[in-house]
A and B are shown apart, each in its own frame.
Chain A
Amino acid sequence: AAGVIQSPRHLIKEKRETATLKCYPIPRHDTVYWYQQGPGQDPQFLISFYEKMQSDKGSIPDRFSAQQFSDYHSELNMSSLELGDSALYFCASSSRQGQGGGKYLSEQYFGPGTRLTVT
């Protein structure tokens, strides 16, 4: 079965540079989530998109932006990189099932992550 694809898998950047991470969700999944996991930390939610619209926002720095495109893939753009941005970045996808106010929460499927190292 197709899984979530993330690219690149590894990325090395210098301080103040920019980086773009890409995420390709599972086919027919309409929701994409981005998470950041620092060294020795638990994953932290950054932002999510549903049907190409931002649906929720977590602790995402103003230097970061993201969008979801018409083919449902998503990109996380990171500017003015800092040493503290070094982390694993996971993308997850899911589909909203059900109708109306009683929508069922399907599980999230995570990609393998992009390891960003800022030097």
Chain B
Amino acid sequence: DAKTTQPNSMESNEEEPVHLPCNHSTISGTDYIHWYRQLPSQGPEYVIHGLTSNVNNRMASLAIAEDRKSSTLILHRATLRDAAVYYCILRSRSNDYKLSFGAGTTVTVRA
């Protein structure tokens, strides 16, 4: 499985943007970039995913580098509820249905 690398932790102030980087230099052409987050004492939650183009949804934006070797999850205005562990996960379109969680980024939001 292609691997991802994320910073251990990031801090942000409430209502400020948060940019979460993810490196995936061994990504293959069939790998989608998925982001999940896990709030304290809850199950993981889907955030967003993309293949090549930048993506936006109600929760976040995903910016994908042109060479696809890195991506950035953007939370436009962090709230206290966004404090969670964020996981960047590669999923192959062809045969990889499970989620392989690596070490994610713990986001702390200051009021």
Residues of A within 8 A of B (CB): 4, 31, 33, 35, 42-45, 48, 50, 55-56, 58, 90, 92, 94, 96, 101-105, 107-113
Contacts and interface: CB of A to CB of B under 8 A. Distances in A.
Nearest to B95: A56
Contacts of A4: 43
Given A90-B43, A107-B46, A42 B103 contact: yes
Interface stretch (B19-27, B63-71, B76-84, B86-94): B86-94
A42 B99 contact: no
A-B residue pairs, 4 tightest by C-beta: A110-B43, A107-B46, A42-B101, A45-B98
Contacts of A108: 44, 46, 99
B98 A112 contact: no
B97 A31 contact: yes
Q: What is the predominant secondary structure among interface residues of chain A facing chain B?
A: strand
Interface of B: 32, 34, 38, 42-46, 49, 85, 87, 91, 93-94, 97-104
A103 B94 CA distance: 8
Contacts of A110: 43-45
B97 A105 contact: yes
For B32, B38, B49, B97, the residue with the greatest tally of chain A CB atoms inside 10 Å of its CB is B97
Contact of B100 (A45, A104, A112): A45
Given A112-B42, A112-B43, A105 B101 contact: no
A118 B73 CA distance: 38
